[in-house]
């Protein structure tokens, strides 16, 4: 900042400092003058540059299913910043409220919420690294988003307008406008950390050359490290360590060892050293105060290290660099790349921070409700107390969260999690200060290292992890409390880092003896030798490695935790024996029999975390692994938990292929990220689509995101689980009748003996149809159906049948545990009471086998007893038959249903195959075409079977499958085709598929191979289901049989057809309602989750109707108030349409 800069800033402040009024009139002039003051280019006129990458009033578009809404960000520069302006005043009648009042604070928070919703809008190419709000004439509020999120309102930094005259503030604003990445703290701290690690490596090398034991050397250097850090954050006052080096130890090297040991002993117990009071540090670092005698040259190296700014060390990478500095074989890799913090956050944020931040958002929304006041009024003392209690409860919950890294290495994952958790805690504390003013919080009751649990088998790495976590924690402490000394002991021995094996526990090991020879088992160690005759390299027979037996081996237990994040060793299945030993590998595989032997080592961690989550002992977990996790054997571990019948896991976040830096050697490798939970949550699959190296050789990544159900192969399937049952299909499908009693089933001869006219209108002996009868040869059996008859009437009118059932059914039923079956022994167990009326008034219905290799349907007479191995449809129209027989529905049913049996045959589960299935909306001509083809399909197959009773429909479709695959026919195939007319069957199906595609408006898919269009068909059906569900919320239901399903509506439509009124909001009761919570906070969360689960737009009454209970005025008002709060926080977008207000979740807006 030079003199010219100072004058420009002074002119700017003279004009604007203390101004007040309306921001819409002032903000462009204000920001234009700010550009002049900063000597940066002003934005060009809007519309003069493609995409308006730098402009005022940046268009921010929100898209919904019916319309688009355009909002405007006040000031925007792509990849730099987004600013939203307000203007307060000292007079409540001007601007956005009187500064210092609740109304003014609300306006500033609203500006932040608005700006954040703009910044996260999908239409912007990237997230601006800086988000600012500005009270023109007063101050800026600033948030950083280098990590991909800004935090909440409490994460702000306030910069007064007058502070622009300070050089550091001026330079910061110039950088925000011109080079925001230069302000990225991760990059600066990474450079400092590299520098200090390089200095330590020099000293470590010298100590090693002197023959000092490696463990003692590492502990000595870690004590030096913490001492230098403690000095730079002023835990040690008066630069006691640096001054002693400069003034005493370098001039007199022989004094170093006894005096540094005295200092460390004092740090362990507390006391005085020289003229300085020393805090009691305790912990594990200073129990052993042993030091080494160092010559002047090495003390100068230590002094050079002490001169660095240790307060700015980045713990996220410090542990890795320190381990390399201390380890001889890794010291050459000190300059190699390390895993950048942003990579670690890519796992920690979705697994740990997203659910915690969601909880905090709920608290913020609840505070908005608690602190509501009449305009111009301040909250009452009671309101403030309730708000304080809400925040305090969240802080308590945050303090109780436990995070486990069961392969913690040097602690980078645990530190990053601690840092993010402390950041969230600080936001909550800042909000508490907003509400209550200055508050006194007990530091011992805040987030601290005890919550961050680790397991690490390497003793040195475990010690470094503890050091890293404490350094990170104390950095946060001094950021909040300044130079105030922390409670003593400064370092508490929590024992949160355990040095042990994380997957295999055992009491000891001993050489394994061969049971036949009694000799110690061994294997070749990998060393080669020259063959004495040929001179070729051959295995050295003397190089043997002992194979050990592990005593009382068992699975290792993990400490209780809420979340698990980890990066276990990258050891593939092929290298496990070489890396871990034969005995260890064999033992590990033996005690984990449910895991295939051919998995990579990481899957033992994955399996244990998955089991804990499956048992609801852990909320969610995530791992870094090699990208082979999606391969067959590794995938089986994941599949077993995703397909569990009870409490299955779901992959909610995954990156199938991501660059990574191996912590051991700094090599660039490829990894996968997987995260799982049992909670219902849409999956996010992030795929790297572009990589570029930045100045630090770190990969700058561009991602594409797919949302849906993540498979074990780390791909996204269309999320069929997200579809909703449609009221239009309700009551039209049902699993068949279940007699439960062999005596109900009779053959034709037995039926004739009962003197009943089989199948007649009044007959109680009706044709029986099973799934096997449909798919194979018909058995020509009958069933005795006495539905609706009392036992006295049966005995009176059907004495022979009564006798038959007494002898054959009643004895069996009397042994049944179900009292209802014993009492009503003469009727079916499942008589389908509620479904019978739907088929009573039609002459035929559609039926399919519940389980079948091929999915096909057939028409049967309505007085047929289709048993529980079938699914019945109360539809008699050839149109419906044609649609569900088409490629579109068969594909849907196969994907949505389940499978059964050795043949893994598809099962037709009506709740997922039929209830949510959206039928097309055809023209009359299209409907007639499909009706004709449906009837033709059914009659063709029946005609073939009538002419050739030995031909089955399964046989027809087996040959049809071969015909479609283009496989050559054998002579037997050709003979079968000549009788079964399968080529004709194929043509009917092809014509039917073409007609149904046309009815959906999807002619672009007709005629293409199924494998090419499967995903597209499913995606379109899921989208159409969402549209139909939205229609049904608005009262438009496309009934399949309106005269039966909704006769009142049919009558109403007929009587009012002559006059069509204005559009109005119509409400229907959903198929499945949620319970309406009693507490306001829970109501808000339920409404938020409802809107977040659907991309559609909702009205107040539609939302209220999704919950149980009457739509009372109180309930409707509660819904409306919660919607207002959600919009105020930028979570919802509101729009008006024909006098009706619609609300939509902002993150789920559609793109253009």
Half-sphere exposure of 936 (CA within 13 A, CB side): 15
d(CA 1008, CA 1004): 9
Q: Single out the residue in 664, 690, 722 at which a domain terminates.
A: 722
- 803 lies in a domain? no
pLDDT at 810 over 90: no
Q: How far is CA 433 from the centre of its chain?
A: 32
Q: What is the radius of gyration, based on Cα positions, of the chain?
A: 37
Pairing of strands 81-86, 130-135: parallel
> Could you tell me which of 44, 62, 64 has the C-alpha nearest to residue 54?
44
Whether 592 and 708 map to the same domain: the answer is yes
Pairing of strands 683-693, 271-273: unpaired
Region 214-238 average pLDDT: 87
* Three-state DSSP class for residue 147: coil
Whether 44 and 177 map to the same domain: the answer is yes
- 87 lies in a domain? yes
- pLDDT tens track for 67-119: 677 889 999 999 999 999 987 655 544 445 677 777 788 888 888 988 998 88
User: DSSP E strands: which ranges in 78-144?
Assistant: 81-86, 130-135, 139-144
CATH number for the domain harbouring residue 654 = 3.40.50
Do residues 348 and 412 make contact, with C-beta atoms less than 8 angstroms apart? no
- 912 lies in a domain? no
- Which H, E and C letters describe 260-309, residue by residue? HHHHHHHHHHCEEECCEEECCCECCCCCCCCCCCCCHHHHHHHHHHHCCC
Average pLDDT of the chain is: 86
Q: Single out the residue in 657, 690, 722 at which a domain terminates.
A: 722
- pLDDT tens track for 262-301: 999 999 999 998 778 899 987 677 888 999 999 999 999 9
Whether 213 and 170 map to the same domain: the answer is no
The per-residue pLDDT for 483 is 77
- 876 lies in a domain? no
Do residues 669 and 570 make contact, with C-beta atoms less than 8 angstroms apart? yes
Whether 490 and 508 map to the same domain: the answer is no
- 969 lies in a domain? yes
User: DSSP E strands: which ranges in 7-93?
Assistant: 54-63, 68-77, 81-86
pLDDT at 439 over 50: yes
Do residues 1004 and 984 make contact, with C-beta atoms less than 8 angstroms apart? no
- 29 lies in a domain? yes
- pLDDT tens track for 447-490: 999 999 999 998 888 988 998 899 899 988 888 887 788 888 88
- 634 lies in a domain? yes
d(CA 495, CA 113): 41
User: Which tokens hold the place of 893?
Assistant: 């049913």
User: Which tokens hold the place of 1059?
Assistant: 């006059």
Whether 472 and 616 map to the same domain: the answer is no
Whether 154 and 198 map to the same domain: the answer is no
> pLDDT band at 630, cuts 50/70/90?
confident
The per-residue pLDDT for 1089 is 80
**Burial class, 823, CB count within 10 angstroms (exposed 0-12 / middle 13-18 / buried 19+):** exposed
The per-residue pLDDT for 666 is 54
Do residues 168 and 176 make contact, with C-beta atoms less than 8 angstroms apart? no
d(CA 547, CA 271): 52
d(CA 15, CA 35): 14
Region 1072-1078 average pLDDT: 82
Q: How far is CA 931 from CA 883, 886, 925, 984, 1152, in A?
A: 9, 12, 10, 18, 37
Whether 623 and 642 map to the same domain: the answer is yes
Whether 627 and 713 map to the same domain: the answer is yes
CATH number for the domain harbouring residue 1108 = 1.10.10.10
Quote the number of domains for the chain.
Answer: 6
Whether 9 and 54 map to the same domain: the answer is yes
> pLDDT band at 334, cuts 50/70/90?
very low
Whether 345 and 455 map to the same domain: the answer is yes
Largest CA distance in the chain: 122
- pLDDT tens track for 867-915: 999 999 999 999 999 999 999 999 999 888 866 544 557 889 898 899 9
Whether 68 and 178 map to the same domain: the answer is yes
Helices 315-326 + 185-209 axis angle, to 10: 20
**Burial class, 874, CB count within 10 angstroms (exposed 0-12 / middle 13-18 / buried 19+):** buried
> Could you tell me which of 124, 134, 147, 137 has the C-alpha nearest to residue 173?
134
- DSSP annotation string for 402-429: -EEETT-TTSHHHHHHHHHHHHHHHHHH
> Could you tell me which of 289, 798, 237 has the C-alpha nearest to residue 484?
237
d(CA 486, CA 443): 8
- pLDDT tens track for 534-558: 677 777 888 888 888 999 999 999 9
Q: Single out the residue in 722, 744, 771 at which a domain terminates.
A: 722
> Could you tell me which of 615, 744, 623 has the C-alpha nearest to residue 672?
623
Q: Give the length of the chain.
A: 1152
Query: Could you list the residue range(s) of the whole structural domain that residue 1093 is in?
Result: 1080-1148
Whether 644 and 706 map to the same domain: the answer is yes
- 76 lies in a domain? yes
Region 734-759 average pLDDT: 82
């Amino acid at each position: 900042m030079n003199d010219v800069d100072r004058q420009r800033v002074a002119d700017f402040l003279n004009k604007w400092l203390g101004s007040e009024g309306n921001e819409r009139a002032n903000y462009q002039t204000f920001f234009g003058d700010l550009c002049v003051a900063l000597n940066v280019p002003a934005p060009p006129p809007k519309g003069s540059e493609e995409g308006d990458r730098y402009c005022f009033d940046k268009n921010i578009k929100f898209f919904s299913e019916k319309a688009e809404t355009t909002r405007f960000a006040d000031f925007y520069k792509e990849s730099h910043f987004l600013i939203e302006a307000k203007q307060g005043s000292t007079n409540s009648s001007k601007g956005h409220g009187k500064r210092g009042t609740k109304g003014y604070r609300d306006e500033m928070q609203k500006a932040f919420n608005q700006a954040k919703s703009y910044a996260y809008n999908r239409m912007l190419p990237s997230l601006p690294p800086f988000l600012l709000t500005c009270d023109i004439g007063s101050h800026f509020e600033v948030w950083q988003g280098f990590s991909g999120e800004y935090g909440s309102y409490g994460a702000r930094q306030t910069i007064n307008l007058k502070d622009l005259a300070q050089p550091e503030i001026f330079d910061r604003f110039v950088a925000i406008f011109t080079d925001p990445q230069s302000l990225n703290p991760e990059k600066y701290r990474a450079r400092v950390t590299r520098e200090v690690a390089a200095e330590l490596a020099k000293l470590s090398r010298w100590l090693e050359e002197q023959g000092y034991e490696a463990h003692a050397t590492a502990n000595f250097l870690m004590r030096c490290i913490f001492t230098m850090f403690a000095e730079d954050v002023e835990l040690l006052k008066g630069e006691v360590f640096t001054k002693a080096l400069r003034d005493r130890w370098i001039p007199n090297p022989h004094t170093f060892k006894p005096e540094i040991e005295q200092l460390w002993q004092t740090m362990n117990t507390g006391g005085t050293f020289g003229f300085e009071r020393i805090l009691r540090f305790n912990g594990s670092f200073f129990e052993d105060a042993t030091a080494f005698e160092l010559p002047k040259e090495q003390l100068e190296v230590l002094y050079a290290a002490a001169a660095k700014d240790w307060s700015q060390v980045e713990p996220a990478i410090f542990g890795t660099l320190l381990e390399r500095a201390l380890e001889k074989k890794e010291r050459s890799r000190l300059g190699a790349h390390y895993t950048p913090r942003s990579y670690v956050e890519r796992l920690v944020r979705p697994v740990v921070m997203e659910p915690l931040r969601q909880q905090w958002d709920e608290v913020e929304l609840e505070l908005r409700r608690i602190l509501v006041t009449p305009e111009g009024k301040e909250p009452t003392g009671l309101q403030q107390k309730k708000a304080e209690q809400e925040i305090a409860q969240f802080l308590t919950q945050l303090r109780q969260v436990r995070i486990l890294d069961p392969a913690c290495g040097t602690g980078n994952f645990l530190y990053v999690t601690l840092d993010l958790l402390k950041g969230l805690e600080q936001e909550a504390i800042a909000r508490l200060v907003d509400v209550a003013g200055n508050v006194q919080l007990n530091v011992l009751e805040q987030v601290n290292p005890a919550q961050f649990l680790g397991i690490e088998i390497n003793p040195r790495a475990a010690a470094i992890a503890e050091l890293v976590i404490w350094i990170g924690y104390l950095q946060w402490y001094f950021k909040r409390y300044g130079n105030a000394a922390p409670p003593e002991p400064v370092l508490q021995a929590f024992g949160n880092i355990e040095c042990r094996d994380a997957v295999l526990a055992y009491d000891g090991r001993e050489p394994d003896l061969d049971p036949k020879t009694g000799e110690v088992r061994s294997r070749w160690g990998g060393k080669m030798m020259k063959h004495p005759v040929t001179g070729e390299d051959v295995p050295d027979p003397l190089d043997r490695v002992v194979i050990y037996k592990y005593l009382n081996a068992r699975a290792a237990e993990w400490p209780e935790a809420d979340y698990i994040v980890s990066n276990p060793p990258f050891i593939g299945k092929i290298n496990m024996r070489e890396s871990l030993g034969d005995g260890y590998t064999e033992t590990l595989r033996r005690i984990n029999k449910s895991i295939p032997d051919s998995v990579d080592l990481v899957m033992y961690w994955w399996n244990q975390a998955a089991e804990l989550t499956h048992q609801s002992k852990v909320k969610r977990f995530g791992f870094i692994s090699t990208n082979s996790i999606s391969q067959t054997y590794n995938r089986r571990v994941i599949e077993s938990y995703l397909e569990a019948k009870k409490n299955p896991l779901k992959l909610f976040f995954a990156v199938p292929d991501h660059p990574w830096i191996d912590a051991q050697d700094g090599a660039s490798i490829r990894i996968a990220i997987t995260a799982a939970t049992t909670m219902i949550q849409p999956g996010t699959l992030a795929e790297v689509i572009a990589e570029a190296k930045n100045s630090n050789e770190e990969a700058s990544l561009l991602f594409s995101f797919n949302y849906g159900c993540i498979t074990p192969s780390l791909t996204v399937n269309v999320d069929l689980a997200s579809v909703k049952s449609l009221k239009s299909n309700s009551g039209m499908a049902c699993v068949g009748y279940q007699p439960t009693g062999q005596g109900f089933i009779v053959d034709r001869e037995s039926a004739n003996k009962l003197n009943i006219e089989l199948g007649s209108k009044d007959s109680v002996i009706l044709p029986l149809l099973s799934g096997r009868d449909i798919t194979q040869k018909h058995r020509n059996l009958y069933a005795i159906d006495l539905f609706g008859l009392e036992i006295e009437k049966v005995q009176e009118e059907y004495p022979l049948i009564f006798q038959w059932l007494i002898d054959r059914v009643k004895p069996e039923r009397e042994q049944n545990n179900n009292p209802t079956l014993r009492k009503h022994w003469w009727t079916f167990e499942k008589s389908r009471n509620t479904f019978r009326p739907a088929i009573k008034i039609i002459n035929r219905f559609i039926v399919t086998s519940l389980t079948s290799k091929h999915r096909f349907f057939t028409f049967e007479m309505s007085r047929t007893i289709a048993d529980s191995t079938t699914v019945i449809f109360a539809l008699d129209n050839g149109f419906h038959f044609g649609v569900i027989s088409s490629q579109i529905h068969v594909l849907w049913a196969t994907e949505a249903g389940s499978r059964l049996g050795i043949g893994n045959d598809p099962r037709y589960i009506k709740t997922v195959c039929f209830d949510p299935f959206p039928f097309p909306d055809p023209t009359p001509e299209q409907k007639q075409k499909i009706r004709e083809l449906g009837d033709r399909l059914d009659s063709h197959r029946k005609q073939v079977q009538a002419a050739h009773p030995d031909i089955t429909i399964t046989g027809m479709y087996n040959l049809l499958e071969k015909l479609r695959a283009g496989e050559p026919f054998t002579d037997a195939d050709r003979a079968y085709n000549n009788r079964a007319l399968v080529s004709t069957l194929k043509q009917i199906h092809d014509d039917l598929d073409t007609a149904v595609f046309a009815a959906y408006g999807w002619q672009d898919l007709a005629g293409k191979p199924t494998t090419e269009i499967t995903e597209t068909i499913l995606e379109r059906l899921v989208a159409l289901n969402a549209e139909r569900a939205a229609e049904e919320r608005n009262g438009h239901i496309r009934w399949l049989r309106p005269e039966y399903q909704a006769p009142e509506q049919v009558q109403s439509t007929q009587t009012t057809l002559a006059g069509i009124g204005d559009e109005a909001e119509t409400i229907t009761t959903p198929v499945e309602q949620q319970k309406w919570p009693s507490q306001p906070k829970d109501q808000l969360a339920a409404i938020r989750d409802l809107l977040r689960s659907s991309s559609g737009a909702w009205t107040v009454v539609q939302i209220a109707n999704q919950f149980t209970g009457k739509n009372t005025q109180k309930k409707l008002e509660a819904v409306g108030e919660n919607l207002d709060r959600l919009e105020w926080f930028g979570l919802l977008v509101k729009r008006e349409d024909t006098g009706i207000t619609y609300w939509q979740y902002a993150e789920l807006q559609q793109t253009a």
